[in-house]
Structure 1
Amino acid sequence: MTLFWRIFSLNAAVLAVATVGLLLGPVTVSTPVVLTEAVVLIGGLAAMLVANAVLLRIGLAPLARLTRTMTTIDLLKPGTRLPVTGRAGIAALIRAFNAMLDRLETERATSAARALSAQEAERKRVAQELHDEIGQTLTAVLLELKRVADQSPPPVRDQLRQVQETTRNSLDEIRRIARRLRPGVLEELGLTSALRALTTEFSTAGLAVQRQIGPDLPTLSEDVELVLYRVAQEGLTNVARHADARHAALILRREGDGVELRIRDDGRGVGTASEGAGIHGMRERALLIGAALTVAPGPEGGTDVSLRVTR
């Protein structure tokens, strides 16, 4: 029976019972209406309305759950499904909604994988150009400045030395940007060395980053290592930019057959602010490898970001 006929049947049943009660009962209506008759009619009407409301609430309860789920669903937090309850049309609607979520999550994961793959390729290209072209150009400028400075009188030589120092700082900054765009240490020395270099880079004035990397980590694929590195990078970037923290910790340890990455800080915490692009990016990367990402307040304040990867 469809939802329409179910609601129609409920209303028809209530009206039929009321009609039979009027026909077979001792109640009559006078002209003008007597007070006792009015009280009986109003009481009967109230009873019909209450019975109708209760029956409809029971019958439409699965639709209310479906509505709440539809307004709060987040494809970046997969796995939310409604239990198939109710009859006929309502059960079919819930099954169709769950199937739609399956399809949307699959399509989003596929499109996100293509987008992030293209993003990594673009990062690699830009990093290569920064290193090979701009880096080499600045290196040539440094050599030329040194040659000119060696042949210049002392006042000009001092100014050229300052220009050399500024150019050298710019070259170091370009190399740092290139490393962040495409960490060569990750490809050459592995995840552990890359995370050590990352924590050292973020251990700047005002922020101390501790690391705890387990010695018994399982063998991980290149995609998993890249996602772990990018999540750690984004997590520490958020700490440095937004958390107002003095201490942070990066923890990578074995958990069963998989690994868990945690980034904790003693900053101001997430509060009631909505998730920004950085956390959304981490969630999309987690979906690529079927990992679970949680962002929650830390046990002693601050923020606790956890990425669990299962094999």
Structure 2
Amino acid sequence: MCQVTEEQEERSIVSLYRRLFLLNASVLVVAVLLLFGPVTVSTPVLLGEAVVLVAGLLVLLVANAVLLRVGLGPLQRLTRAMRTADLLRPGRRAAVTGRGEIADLTRTFNTMLDRLEAERATSTARVLSAQEAERRRIAQELHDEVGQTLTAVLLQLKHAADHAPAALRPELHQAQETTRAGLDEIRRIARRLRPGVLEELGLHSALRSLASEFSTGGLTVRPRIDAGLPKLAPETELVLYRVAQEGLTNTARHAGATRVELRLRALPDGGVGLRVRDDGRGIGTAPEGAGLTGMRERALLIGAELTVGDGADGGTEVRLDTTSGGPSTRTAA
């Protein structure tokens, strides 16, 4: 069987311009032939001839509109695909229909999306990796430098209070309590920047610790973690932890909620699913901020699907579902 060369294939594809030109030219040629043939025009124009001319014009306009609609339909679909393209929601592609320039343009657009999504995933991975490294550095400095300095200040205040006159001791004790509260806040910030419990005790303990940390000020976080979850890669555990952390942070700051369910469960396809659902006011029509954008970028790193919206019973629900067999899970030893 002989193979058709690329040049022969290109010659066999009639361009969009030629198709439209030939279609319109055919209609006009037919109209002119009719004028030279059975259809004639008198001077002045008779009523019957005017009716024929108007009817012919309407037929030409309708035929031209239908032909243009058919010819330009794929271009309109491609335009809609371009308008709705979102690199944070990958995988959406314009359907390639027919042959010719529009089909080539659609394939080129899809190829461009493939390249952009791959480049964005690579650049996002580098940025988030650098961000995590910077967080670890800052957390270490907070713990080693600021934490030790405040600890030394506490010891000095205690020594001063023990040897100070009785009138000054209440103020020194108050300074001790203020310094101790600042030290606790520094440690809390360091834990958020670098989740040491995640590295030392694993995702289960890290999520329970996170739930306990946010269960303050009228907000109750109930963790529900299923047993028998598949073994997860370290980068996947970090993404799950960060998404849960950001979801709880948004709830505490904006939702006005009193209860939050933090759920980690196994999915039927072998992946894992994270859910953060609150009883607050819901997300409504509020635009996505930097926090949600960051969660979507993290989800892309492990090939997971992130959905954020109103819960079935009100409030806001954040869902992150990983897939089996990808970079998100590993077979347990």
Specify the TM-score bucket, using the shorter chain as the normaliser: over 0.9
**Which residue is equivalent to 1:68?**
80
Alignment of 1:80 onto 2:103: no
For these two proteins, the number of residue pairs brought into alignment is: 310
Please name the residue that 1:156 is paired with.
168
Structure 2 alignment gaps of length 5 or more: 1-13, 325-333
Shift of 1:29: 1.4
Between the aligned partners of 1:18 and 1:271, the Cα distance in structure 2 is: 58
Correspondence 1:50 to 2:62? yes
Matched letter for residue 228 of structure 1:
L
2:107 to 92, 95, 100: 95
- Superposition pairs for residues 191-202 of structure 1, below 5 Å? 191-202=203-214
Map 1:233-272 → 2, pairs under 5 A: 233-255=245-267, 256-272=269-285
More deviation, 168-177/2-11: 2-11
Deviations 1:231-259 (A, max 9, x none): 00001111111111111111100113210
Amino acid at match of 1:135: G
Give the structure-2-normalised TM-score: 0.91
1:135 aligns with 2:157: no
Report the counterpart of residue 5 of structure 2 in structure 1: none
Contact kept? 1:145, 1:160, Cα under 8 Å: yes
CA distance in 2, matches of 1:262, 1:20: 72
Aligned counterpart in structure 2 of residue 115 of structure 1, from 127, 134, 141 = 127
Structure 2 SS opposite 1:76: coil
Tell me, in whole angstroms, the C-alpha distance in 2 between the residues paired with 1:195 and 1:19: 80
Q: Distance in 1 between matches of 2:67 and 2:209?
A: 65
Correspondences of 1:219-230 after superposition (within 5 Å): 219-230=231-242
Q: 2:295 maps to what in 1?
A: 282
Q: Is the CA contact (8 Å cut-off) linking 1:124 and 1:181 kept in structure 2?
A: yes
TM-fit CA distance, 1:105:
0.4
Which of the residues 3, 17, 20 maps onto 1:7? 20
Structure 1 spans left out of the alignment, 5+ residues = none
Letter in 2 for 1:224: T
Deviation at 1:298, TM superposition (A): 0.7
TM-score, length basis structure 1? 0.97
Query: How many angstroms does 1:205 deviate by?
Result: 1.8
Letter in 1 for 2:20: I
| Superposition deviation, residue 201 in structure 1 | 0.7
2:308 and 2:65 map into 1 onto residues whose CA distance is: 42
State the Cα distance separating 1:93 from its structure 2 match.
0.8
Q: For residue 271 of structure 1, what is the amino acid of its counterpart?
A: G
Q: Distance in 2 between matches of 1:274 and 1:16?
A: 56
Q: Which runs of 4+ in 1 moved over 6 A?
A: none
**In the TM superposition, what whole-angstrom CA distance separates every residue of 1:261-302 from its partner, at most 9, and x where no partner exists?**
011111111212221111110000000011111112211111
2:37 maps to 1:24: yes
CA contact (8 A) 1:185 1:194 kept: yes
**RMSD of equivalent CA atoms:** 1.0
Q: Distance in 2 between matches of 1:53 and 1:137?
A: 79
**How far apart are residue 22 of structure 1 and its match?**
2.4
Query: Which whole-Å CA distance do the structure 1 matches of 2:189 and 2:49 have between them?
Result: 87
Amino acid at match of 2:313: E
Cα distance between partner residues in 2 of 1:245 and 1:22: 78
Q: What secondary structure, in the 3-state scheme, does the structure 2 residue paired with 1:238 have?
A: helix
**Partners in 2 of 1:265 and 1:164 — Cα distance?**
37
How far residue 38 of structure 1 moved from its aligned partner, in angstroms, is: 2.0
CA deviations on 1:213-242 (whole Å, 9 max, x unpaired) are 011111111100000000000011111111
Q: Which amino acid aligns with 1:36?
A: G
The separation in 1 between residues aligned to 2:220 and 2:112, in whole angstroms, is 46
- Name the residue aligned to 1:34: 46
Local SS of the residue matching 2:64: helix
Query: Which residue type is aligned with residue 188 of structure 2?
Result: R
Percent of aligned pairs with the same amino acid: 67
Q: Contact (CA 8 Å) 1:59, 1:86: kept in 2 or not? A: no
Q: Which moved more, 1:3-12 or 1:55-64?
A: 3-12
Cα offsets for 1:120-150 (capped at 9, x unmatched): 0000000000010000000000000000010
| Cα distance in 1 between the residues matched to 2:163 and 2:238 | 49
Q: CA deviation at 1:210?
A: 1.0
